[in-house]
Structure 1
């Protein structure tokens, strides 16, 4: 009864259930989670009704008015974001420790469609330095949203809402701060697509940054969160349920990391998007190296995520080696081969270029793959899901909807242009309520490494789980200590805050 179903052309397959009520009890929400979901939704709707925002197409009189929601007070970081969102330092900070640390990469050569000149950016570099010199030193970075180009968008009042595919050049200055130094809002350079600079008028530069944040927030929401986490975790879950029986050691190991995934996806499945993932991009240590981010300073996401990858990898290595003493034990396990084969064909559409294996020949291959599955279903999801409300709840910092097209010339924008570009009252209220609902920590939250249902009986396996929990606890202490010394703590990858599965 758990069958694959095609979702959209070029995308991973999904479970053949569309009605949340039809989800089998063993993979569905608990009563308390279902109740809390309904309660939070009603509370959010009541707030919007009370403020008369259900169908209001009025624009906001001021940005300050956006703070008048009860949920705004539930996040100290949200208050910080509302005070600092205009600052270049905080704008740069978010590429590393915000909602989407998956886009930025080191830039050793400018793309041909981003004609930034030495003269343009010289004033923003260290005294006497140049773009060429700073590139050679490894201090120049790029965030390129080419993937957003030409995507269809919603139509409001007969017009498609704007969506840009910007390029943003960033620089690590001598104070180790990552700052934006040039922004082009479209992929094709032209007179109508100028390169905006920090020396432009305050409203021009802020508007350019808003359009970058718009693209970044959409990419984080649709690609990193929906595709790389929810839909991919669904593939892992279905493959486990279809191929690995309950007594299989990998079923016992993985099933806690699949908890609620199918139910939450059936509720959330309203968006389609295409992206080609690679095995490298899913394996964090390789992804960090591929993007040239090994030494960029103050990258707390990288530091925490790498330690978590290593802790998970050590745990998986111990467990897998215990149940699979030799390579032949792996290659001869037909249930295991069926599992990875279905993930390859239904998750990655049989694309050999993705680097995803279609079979396992060695213990080492299996360890790496299972590490990736657990990491994706827990750590990677937490980094984006837990930070949504903090960074997007203040609409100007991460608008997922903008009403005005990007500027085509410099010097035309005014302060009022910012308000005219923001979503209207109804849209903004609805968007904020969604982020608030998704940030709710449910009563039956299970942190990473916690296994309430004891599936393993062997003393050796139970000891491995204890060792895993001890490592996570030690990391939690270290992260808490570091965060106590930071103006802006990064706590999304504290093991105590990471849910064991994609459950929200």
Structure 2
């Protein structure tokens, strides 16, 4: 009997003929996935479910009329009699469907005519949940087929205070909702908002807000205490999803944390959890394992060895030969606690106990080209963090730090140090011709630098000046490294300037100066460009959309794909990445001040400036030009992030505008849309509540406000995140190219370090940058974060072709897909054009981070719909 049940659970059921020959009956199909397919830890429970279904009616469905109200039920839509799943156990295999899915017949006996259904109620009488994908009704009298896109976990009915309701794929603005469905629409939103009380359980579907008060663990002592981010002018922050856990016993302002061994169980609404495919489980376990198991094992592995690689050749062995792991009991903790297949991936065990990583793209073609000045500068335009560089408008560069607090922080770079490198131009002429640029990490880092340098980190604030050459490439001119004045912040900075050199001690100093800039850029990239400006700022939009926009609302349908997995990855990040003592603090230079720094930088976040054109204009990288493509003229023609980004931005905006025009025929319609206005109000006042009084928020009073806002949201969640995430392994998988920590200051003349720099500069380089343990941990992490899941859904794609019924919306989406296909072709053409030297550079890595589609894995291309990793 057990073998028969097992075979049936692994089988695919047959979908029979659903032609409706009885006007009193409606036939349909249900597609769902049972929990054992989705969670290998609950396989036995699902076997029992299959047995139980043989003996009873365990899942019921009732149709809700969209046209006929029931006077005895408050004029809500009439209900059909319950219908039940048929043939739960059925091993016939005549209809091919995706692996893991099961299809079941369903027959509704209407009895009294309910007219056209617009929703249904489902009740699950099993003892465990299942994932409901779709329900399709065939040949509804007077209407034809009706499709319900569900994509939701359905828990046992006893877990819910209100019935689970799913609506057909017809969108309605609130004022256009059929009267019999209005109360169901409103009740569903009330359920999703919750009551703001108590600890939330996994089956609850509550979206609510909380501060970042769960990063610290004060019960472990002062070293693990962290300030609450959000809710104050000192530490403003976007809100995260509420879990409702009890306050910490050591600090009532901090939320208690789940022990790391239980880290996968942190609450997010169940439908926000990762999908069912193996890659998603792998990601979750991998993040947990890197933090819980790999870090202490790496520490043990290198406990008796020097803390840095001795040479470039030694570091290259990570990719070419691997590092031999101990064969004794050292890794017993790993093998006892991590699934074998995951262990093989995490520690690259190939049967010979080698820790070996894939070769990053930046060193695949040339092992040394990353050290060139051209590549150093090119990556500011086409690397991991192409969103910081700006044009230089005044010389010397000035600071925006408050002079009353920090003194004078005007740059000490002089004209004499750079003017002979400007192709015959004066500095004023170079500025006038828009040929001077700056990578400025001075003001970002300086306020925290004194504290950072009391830890094991020893680093500088930096400014890097660059010159645009006639061939379109950038040439570094000077790097300024600054420390707080030893007599106090009010006295300004102590700075030293380094200029390019290829040989001798000056060449060694120049390579170290570029490494310090790389450290700063790595930290700003992870904390600001990546975490804050994509992951953190988008989560309030996820929450507000689910709380205030019904699934029937067209803007919910527009935005929903761009929120997939975001709350889940952010929750995991709070648990193992950005928490006190977590992986980020262990691998990025600000250490314990990392998240606090990101809070200070959030003060500068302005929603409309997240639009790519606005960002480029603000940084002085483009000027408005009605004659230019997309209305902008780039000051650096060969700026791959901006060139490809503007194409993607324009395609998204056209799609959003076409879509919104299907539903909003006038500005008055927008103004009178109660759900839309509540959504925008809550987003400003709660989701980004620390900026609720900012004057720059769009007023949401016309079509332009709506289109601009939705385009920015989609841009952040898809293309911007792709641009700063999926190239991580390609460029930073080789840590010398993107060091994350510096552990020593520049060698001073007369010291042993100075003498060593003269005789063995590579050894000094490795003594300065990221240590071995941090390198292994960092590379392990970014390899995970740079991979595309096998169930990824990319920009211009949907998980269900019948996601909406409206022909106008479907036509606009098809046009969007065609536009993206054309953009892919243009990117390939540009990458093959030798005129554009910045698109591949000396390292010969083509710029593909904004190429819309990708295969699974470590590809360095592809734009997923959402911040899903």
Q: Same fold (TM over 0.5)?
A: yes
| Residue pair 1:48, 1:430 contacting (<8 A) in 2 also | no
Q: Which has the higher contact order (CA 8 A, sep 6+)?
A: 1
Question: Which residue pairs with 1:469 in the alignment?
Answer: 817
Q: Call closer, same or farther: CA 1:191–1:495 in 2, change over 3 Å.
A: closer
Alignment of 1:6-405 (within 5 A): 6-7=211-212, 8=229, 9-17=235-243, 20-21=264-265, 22-32=267-277, 33-38=279-284, 40=286, 53=301, 55=303, 58-70=307-319, 72-80=357-365, 82-110=367-395, 111-112=397-398, 113-126=410-423, 128-145=424-441, 146-151=443-448, 159-186=455-482, 192-199=494-501, 201-269=506-574, 270=578, 272=595, 273-274=598-599, 275=601, 276-293=604-621, 294-345=634-685, 346-347=687-688, 349-353=690-694, 355-357=696-698, 359-405=699-745
- Structure 1 residues 39 and 23, CA, compared in 2 at 3 Å: closer, same or farther? closer
Contact 2:472 2:637 in 1 (8 A): yes
C-alpha displacement of 1:47: 11
Check whether the contact 1:57–1:426 (CA below 8 A) recurs between aligned residues: no
Aligned partner of 2:246 in structure 1 is none
Q: Which moved more, 1:139-148 or 1:264-273?
A: 264-273
Contact preservation (8 Å) 1:20, 1:263: no
Higher helix share: 1
Q: Deviations over 1:116-175 (max 9, x none)?
A: 22221133221x33222212211000111111223279989x834134221111101233
Partner-residue secondary structure (3-state), 1:194 = strand
Please name the residue that 2:208 is paired with. Answer: 3
Query: Which has the higher mean CA deviation after the structures are superposed, 485-494 or 389-398?
Result: 485-494
Deviations 1:448-492 (A, max 9, x none): 110113321111111111111111111111112222345431000
**Unaligned 5+ runs, structure 1:** none
CA shift, 1:41, in A, is 5.4
Aligned length: 501
Q: 2:806 aligned with 1:458, yes or no?
A: yes
**SS of equivalent to 1:73:** coil
Is there any run of 5+ residues in structure 2 with no aligned partner, and where? 1-205, 213-228, 230-234, 244-256, 258-262, 320-355, 399-409, 486-491, 580-594, 622-633, 834-839, 854-861
Task: Name the SS for the 1:494 alignment partner.
Answer: coil
More strand by share: 2
Compare 105-114 and 398-407 and name the one that shifted more: 398-407
In 2, the alpha carbon distance for the partners of 1:352 and 1:80 equals 51
Q: In the alignment, does 2:443 pair up with 1:443?
A: no
> How far apart, in 2, do the equivalents of 1:47 and 1:334 lie?
51
- 1:7-33 superposed Cα distances (whole Å, 9 cap, x missing partner): 203111110137642333211101224
Structure 1 residues 184-216: Cα deviation after superposition (integer angstroms, max 9, x where no partner):
112769895211111471111111111111111
How well do the aligned residues superpose, as a CA RMSD in angstroms? 2.7
1:364 Cα deviation (Å)?
0.9
Q: Distance in 2 between matches of 1:107 and 1:4?
A: 40
Distance 1:188 1:131, change over 3 A: farther
In the alignment, structure 1 residue 494 sits paired with structure 2 residue 851: yes
Rounded to whole Å, the distance in 2 between the matches of 1:2 and 1:50 is 38
Structure 1 or 2, whichever has the larger Rg, is 2
CA distance in 1: counterparts of 2:435 and 2:314, whole angstroms: 39
Distance 1:78 1:226, change over 3 A: farther
